[in-house]
Structure 1
Amino acid sequence: MLSVYSKLSAGSLDAISRMHMCVTDLREIVFVIQSQSNSYHVRQAERRREDLLQQTQSLTQPPPLVLFLHSLTDNEGDWSILPLLPYFSLSFGKNSSWLVFLEEETKVKVTKLLQILRKFDRRKEWFLGKPLHDEESTIIHHYAFAENPSIFKYPDFSAAWALSFPLVDRLANKVKDDPLKSDFTIDLKHEVALYIWENGQGPRLTGVPELCTESEASQAAQHCATTLSNLSPLCGDPVKKEEIFVAVKTCKKFHNERVPVVKKTWERDASLLEYYSDHADPTIPTIDLGVPNTERGHCGKTFAIMKRYVSEAVPKTSWLLVVDDDTLIRTEGYSRIQISSYPCVSLSYFLSLYILFILLMVFSRTAVMKLLASGCKCYSDDAPDDMVLGMCFNALGLPVTHSPLFHQARPEDYSREFLNHQVPISFHKHWNIDPIAVFNRWLKDGLTSEIPQKFMKSTKEEL
Structure 2
Amino acid sequence: MFWSLVPFIAANEDVKEGVSKVQEADKLPHESQLRLREVVFVIQSQRNSFHVQQAERLRADLLLQTEELQESPPPILLLHTLSDSEGDWSILPSLPYFSSHFGKNSSWIMFLEEETNVKLEKLLTVLKKFVRRKEWFLGKPLHDDESTIIHHYAFAENPSSFKYPDFSAGWALSIPLINRSDLSTPPCKPAPHRSFFSFVFWAFGTVVIGFTCSVRTMSSFSRQGEPVTREDIFVAVKTCKKFHLERVPVVKKTWEKQASRLEYYSDHADPSIPTINLGVPNTDRGHCGKTFAILSRYVSSSVPKTDWLLIVDDDTLISLPRLQALLSCYDPREPVCLGERYGYGLGQGGYSYITGGGGMVFSREAVLRLLASGCKCYSNDAPDDMVVGMCLNAVQIPVTHSPLFHQARPEDYARDFLAHQIPISFHKHWNIDPVAVFSKWLNDSDSSAERLSTRLKEEL
TM interval, shorter chain, is: 0.7 to 0.9
Say if 1:450 and 1:138 are closer, same or farther in 2 by CA, change over 3 A: farther
**Structure 1 position 123, deviation (Å):** 0.7
Is residue 76 of structure 1 aligned with residue 86 of structure 2?
yes
Deviations, residues 172-204 of structure 1 (Å, cap 9, x unaligned): x224xx54453x2123x2442222x3xxxxxx3
Q: Which sections of structure 1, spanning at least 5 residues, go unmatched?
A: 1-12, 198-203, 216-226, 459-463
Contact 2:267 2:281 in 1 (8 A): yes
SS at match of 1:444: coil
The residue type equivalent to 1:402 in the other structure is: H
Contact 1:420 1:451 in 2 (8 A): no
Q: Which sections of structure 2, spanning at least 5 residues, go unmatched?
A: 1-22, 341-354
Deviations, residues 301-345 of structure 1 (Å, cap 9, x unaligned): 001001111111111111110000000001101112x111113x7
**Structure 1 position 228, deviation (Å):** 10
Contact 2:34 2:124 in 1 (8 A): yes
**Structure 1 position 61, deviation (Å):** 2.1
Say if 1:257 and 1:279 are closer, same or farther in 2 by CA, change over 3 A: same
The residue type equivalent to 1:375 in the other structure is: G
Aligned length: 417
The residue type equivalent to 1:159 in the other structure is: A
The residue type equivalent to 1:193 in the other structure is: F
Q: What is the TM-score with the length of structure 2 in the denominator? A: 0.86
Deviations, residues 340-362 of structure 1 (Å, cap 9, x unaligned): 1113x7x2xx4x21214312111
| Aligned position for 1:255 | 244
| Aligned position for 2:268 | 279
Contact 1:28 1:97 in 2 (8 A): yes
Contact 2:286 2:383 in 1 (8 A): yes
* Distance (Å, rounded) in 1 between the aligned partners of 2:414 and 2:117: 22
The residue type equivalent to 1:320 in the other structure is: L
| Aligned position for 2:33 | 23
| Aligned position for 1:265 | 254
Q: Identify the match of residue 294 of structure 1 among 283, 296, 308.
A: 283
* Distance (Å, rounded) in 1 between the aligned partners of 2:217 and 2:400: 20
The residue type equivalent to 1:125 in the other structure is: E
* Distance (Å, rounded) in 1 between the aligned partners of 2:211 and 2:225: 28
| Aligned position for 2:134 | 124
SS at match of 2:330: helix
* Distance (Å, rounded) in 2 between the aligned partners of 1:108 and 1:408: 29
* Distance (Å, rounded) in 2 between the aligned partners of 1:247 and 1:290: 16
SS at match of 1:174: coil
Deviations, residues 364-391 of structure 1 (Å, cap 9, x unaligned): 1121122112211111111111111112
Contact 2:232 2:308 in 1 (8 A): yes
The residue type equivalent to 1:205 in the other structure is: W
* Distance (Å, rounded) in 1 between the aligned partners of 2:217 and 2:261: 35
Q: What is the TM-score with the length of structure 1 in the denominator? A: 0.85
* Distance (Å, rounded) in 2 between the aligned partners of 1:230 and 1:312: 37
The residue type equivalent to 1:331 in the other structure is: L
Contact 2:420 2:456 in 1 (8 A): no
| Aligned position for 1:461 | none
* Distance (Å, rounded) in 2 between the aligned partners of 1:16 and 1:412: 43
Contact 1:230 1:455 in 2 (8 A): no
Q: Which has the higher contact order (CA 8 A, sep 6+)?
A: 2
Aligned-residue CA RMSD in angstroms?
2.4
* Distance (Å, rounded) in 2 between the aligned partners of 1:20 and 1:45: 33
**Structure 1 position 14, deviation (Å):** 6.9
Contact 2:116 2:211 in 1 (8 A): no
Give the percent of matched residue pairs that are identical in Structure 1 and Structure 2. 62
| Aligned position for 2:155 | 145
Say if 1:452 and 1:134 are closer, same or farther in 2 by CA, change over 3 A: farther
Q: Identify the match of residue 207 of structure 2 among 198, 207, 210.
A: 210
* Distance (Å, rounded) in 1 between the aligned partners of 2:399 and 2:205: 33
Say if 1:451 and 1:330 are closer, same or farther in 2 by CA, change over 3 A: same
The residue type equivalent to 2:290 in the other structure is: K
Say if 1:16 and 1:181 are closer, same or farther in 2 by CA, change over 3 A: closer
| Aligned position for 1:192 | 196
Map residues 417-432 of structure 1 onto 2, 5 A cutoff. 417-432=416-431
Is residue 340 of structure 1 aligned with residue 345 of structure 2?
no
Say if 1:364 and 1:229 are closer, same or farther in 2 by CA, change over 3 A: closer
Is residue 156 of structure 1 aligned with residue 160 of structure 2?
no
Say if 1:291 and 1:214 are closer, same or farther in 2 by CA, change over 3 A: closer
